[in-house]
Amino acid sequence: MRIPSIPGFDQQAFEKYFKNTGMLMMAKVGSMVIKMIVNTFVLSSYLGTVQNGILNYPMAIVVFFMAIAALGLDGFVTRELVNHPKKQNTLLGTAFWMRLIAGIATLPLVYLTYQILAHFRHQDTPVEYILIVALTSIVQAFTIIESYFQAKVQAKYVMYVQVTGNLVSAAIKLSLVLLHMPLIWFVCALLFDTVLLAIGYILAYHNNKLSLSDWKFDRSLGLYMLKNAWPLAFSAVLVSIYMKIDQAMIEGYLGSAQLGIYSTVVSLSESFYFLPVAIVTSVFPAIVYARKTDIDRYYKRLQNMYDLMVGVSLSIAIFMTFASKYIYQIAFHKHPEFWSGAPVLAMHVWAGVFVFLGSASGQYLIAEGYFKLSMLRTGVGALVNIVLNIFWIPAYGIIGAAYATLVAYAVATFFILLIPKTRGQGVQMLKSLFLISLFQKAFNR
């Protein structure tokens, strides 16, 4: 089977990339689809709007503390392992213990946050549910092993773990539904998802004839990591706010039932967000190479990448806009209380256009070394999202949250227009968004 070509990029390079990773990527996509069907349709239908909202609320709160506990060390440790492979056991050991301690330290912060929120409004979700999910921050310390496989360019092991984890997670939740288990079991299953990943990474690490017992903690290295990785940690916190604050605020303003409906919207809308990552992963090396050898070709390849992102994301948005009504009526045919999510999905899915463009331009910022600017635009997006949600959720309900998400993502993506040194890239993205670049290519043929 011949893989469709992408203008401006080496076809042979894509053939090689997809031959090496195509089956694994298909397996990952398939497992994600199965997990999404179980979580979004089967589980939501079983629990109903209120209990589904209660189930999703803990993660909306805990995700901020998970980002803090990760300390921004994943990408940083990967880079250090590439540059200093002989320090592997010290780097992994130091990062593991730092993340483990940070995860434990976040537990009282999670409890305090819950109590503060409960002071202003009655919480439908018991504090025990929040604390169970909060244990994820501790367990995720083991996922630092992924940095080792990334540094060794052995991403297949990461995919093996993720595919297996997705399938086992879906099977467990489906079994809980069939056994008619109470809500607390599904809350524990959220924690067990991370436990599955941790076990998978540990087994994969040992399968490479390596042992966690060889890991060592180095205090001076730990201080060095904190000093250099804090911008990444801060960025991760901003991203979590950017992506999850709407769900936390919906529960506060509208209650668990509306959050239960909105959670199905987010799950469906964001199910395509792995695509820009896959695309960027495949084309970014060619873009970086062009930057070193031919600057004109570099900008042409960036334009082609933006065109591709818009083409894919617009196709998804248009299809989902017209299909949303039928998706909800078919998937929730016995639960019409979820049907009000259809128009919200039709709006929320358009935020994906800016997610796709943002992922592409984010790689440009990395290539140019504009790390602080990348963090700044995420922060601006998070702030816009919070402010708009404060006004629009009480006024318009959950569709107000979808409007806020759309505007916030657009503002964050095109924030680079306000910065002189990156304005050109913003213009290139606008040319792709309004199909100007596409028409220019068509008429120049």
Give yes or no: residues 373 and 233 share one domain: no
Please give the pLDDT value at position 34. Answer: 84
Percent of the chain having pLDDT more than 90? 54
Residue 145 in any domain: the answer is: yes
* pLDDT value at 216 more than 90: yes
Q: Which of 224, 253, 282 is the last residue of a domain?
A: 253
Q: Give the per-residue pLDDT at 385.
A: 94
Residue 266 is assigned to a structural domain of this protein: no
> Closest Cα partner for 362 from 348, 349, 344, 376?
376
Angle at 69 between CA 67 and CA 71, to 5 degrees: 80
Query: Quick one: pLDDT band at residue 50, thresholds 50, 70, 90?
Result: very high
Together in a domain, 314 and 423: yes
- 229 and 282 in a single domain? The answer is no
Q: Which helix (H) or strand (E) holds 414?
A: none
Same domain membership, residue 322 and residue 190: no
Which of the four pLDDT bands, split at 50, 70 and 90, describes residue 5? low
pLDDT tens-place string over residues 338-360: 999 999 999 999 999 999 999 88
Measured over the CA atoms of residue 349, residue 351, residue 357 and residue 358, the dihedral's sign is negative
- Could you tell me if 290 and 241 lie in one domain? no
User: Does residue 286 share a domain with residue 232?
Assistant: no
Residue 88 forms part of a structural domain: yes
Tell me, yes or no, whether 222 and 282 share the same domain.
no
Among 35, 158, 171, 151, residue whose Cα is nearest residue 92: 151
**Among residues 206, 221, 253, which one ends one of the domains?**
253
Task: Give residue for tokens 């239960």.
Answer: 260
- Report whether 14 contacts 3 (CB < 8 A): yes
Q: Are residues 222 and 278 in the same domain?
A: no
For residues 324 and 241, membership in a common domain is answered with no
Phi, psi of 119 (to 5 degrees): -65, -30
Q: Which domain holds residue 154?
A: 1-253
pLDDT tens column, 232-247: 788 788 888 888 889 9
Convert the pLDDT of each residue in 101-145 to its tens digit.
999 999 999 999 999 988 777 778 899 999 999 999 999 999 999
What integer best gives the mean pLDDT of the chain? Answer: 86
Using one digit for the tens of pLDDT, what is the confidence trace for 361-388? 887 887 777 878 888 898 999 999 999 9
- Residue 264 within any structural domain of the chain: no
Average pLDDT over residues 191-204: 93
Are 5 and 134 part of one and the same domain?
A: yes
Same domain, 239 and 277: no
Q: Which residue has the tokens 């992994």?
A: 92
pLDDT interval class at 153 (50, 70, 90): low
Tokens, residue 61: 């709160």
CA-CA distance, 195 to 203, in Å (whole number)? 12
Task: Report residue 240 as tokens.
Answer: 């979590």
The share of the chain scoring above pLDDT 70, in percent, equals: 91
For the segment 288-296, the average pLDDT, to the nearest whole number, is 79
In a domain, 263, yes or no: no
Residue 247 lies inside a defined structural domain of this protein: yes
59 in a structural domain: yes
Lowest pLDDT segment from 219-223, 235-239, 407-411: 235-239
The mean-pLDDT minimum among 164-178, 203-217, 269-283 falls in 269-283
Q: Are residues 248 and 317 in the same domain?
A: no
Contacts of 81 (CB under 8 A, 6+ apart): 87, 88, 91, 92, 147, 148, 151, 152
Specify the number of domains making up the chain.
2
CA-based angle 236:242:245, to the nearest 5?
115
In a domain, 259, yes or no: no
Q: How confident is the model at residue 20 (pLDDT cuts 50, 70, 90)?
A: very low
